[in-house]
Amino acid sequence: MTSQLAFSPWRSFGALLAATGAVALAGCAPTVPLESAELANDPACAAVQVRLPDTITELDRRTTNAQSTAAWGEPAAVLSRCGLPPIGPSDLPCFTVDGVDWLMDESDAPRYVFVTYGREPVTEVIVDNELIAGADAIRAISPAVASIEATARCLNATDVFGGGTVTPDPSATPES
């Protein structure tokens, strides 16, 4: 199974992180230029936006130029946007933080892409792990994202395979 994050919406946003860092280093613009997601005007995204923290660790929130987006730090170390379409099953690792399931794509390390799983619309967070730990960023953002109702959860191996011990059925016969 291939990663569901390999298609363009997430990759293009990752490229924006690099461009944003270059602009911030040049000191040309106090506003972080980002691109809105396809479903950015969903009311659930507005609920997330008003709940996002003003700071993540010591990183202050900055102004962005796109709906349902946020950024923290100078240069921007954490980028967030709400409004991506739902994600299907993925082979990416899943972590639950404060009741919110997050998929993590580390293919562009040290930039890590986290996307919510089981919540529509999807929220994406890109973290520059050289400037802040991904866990710190996700821990700060999860309470805001929790305002979107979960409709699915990540599964672990015990969910898929039944877990526990298997007791053989003495009446069962092996197939020949």
For the chain, the domain total comes to: 1
How far is Cα 77 from Cα 63, in angstroms, rounded to an integer? 13
Q: In what order do the strands lie in the sheet with 94-97?
A: 55-56, 59-62, 69-72, 78-84, 122-128, 111-116, 100-108, 94-97
pLDDT, position 156: 67
- Residue-number span of the structural domain to which 143 is assigned: 4-151
Residue 70, helix vs strand vs coil: strand
pTM: 0.76
**Low-confidence stretches of the chain (pLDDT beneath 50):** 1-29, 160, 163-176
Does the residue 43 lie in any domain? Answer: yes
Task: Provide the residue type at 149 as one letter.
Answer: E
pLDDT, position 126: 98
Does the residue 162 lie in any domain? Answer: no
Per the structure block, which two tokens stand in for 30? 């106090």
Does the residue 71 lie in any domain? Answer: yes
pLDDT, position 147: 97
Does the residue 53 lie in any domain? Answer: yes
pLDDT, position 30: 83
Give the chain's radius of gyration (CA, Å).
Answer: 19
pLDDT, position 60: 96
pLDDT, position 173: 39
